[in-house]
Amino acid sequence: MTDEITAQSEAARFAWPVTLALATVGGSLAAACMMPFVALAIVTAATMHRSLALATILAIWATNQVLGFTVLGYPHTGYAFAWGGALGIASVLAMLAGAAVMGERDELSSFRTLSAFLIGFFVYEAALFGLALVVGGTETFAMPIVGQIFANDALWFAGLSGAYWILTSTAPKLFGPTPRLRLA
């Protein structure tokens, strides 16, 4: 009986990260330069313990970079590698900021989760802007471009959050229990 519970716990622990990894592959191939790292960072922070969220966001970033530099033809230049590394650092910072805002994950507050997304987006963009000040590229932080990135991340965040809710509701043995949600 204990082995069965352990096996279910392990499945529940890794089913959602694997689902996010598959979403990353699809997202990377469909929208190479619009990967929703903030959405993924905040969803991992909201749905996983911090160590698993960190490992998952790093795996998501690495998967995106491998696909980008091998399949999608990202240039093999120091500039491109620097931006790739910055995306990883910014994603981790967004996840940590989101986790700090949300607190415990057994009960999700819609206000705190939305706040975590907004703060995570700010932290992510600020980290990338910091690199742009050093290596160039500040023109990519024009409001129309940042607005498009925000909209993309917001849509992915809503979609992934909805997918998590559906998966935990319909397959709790595989994805774990559905977290309680409160408004404030």
pLDDT at 77 over 70: yes
- Model confidence pLDDT, tens digit, residues 3-40: 433 444 676 678 999 999 888 888 778 776 788 999 99
Confidence of residue 78 (pLDDT cuts 50, 70, 90): very high
Tell me the whole-structure pTM to 2 decimals. 0.89
Name, in order, each residue with C-beta under 8 angstroms of 167's C-beta and a sequence gap of 6 or more. Answer: 15, 16, 19, 174, 175
Q: How many CA atoms lie within 13 A of 136 on its CB side?
A: 3
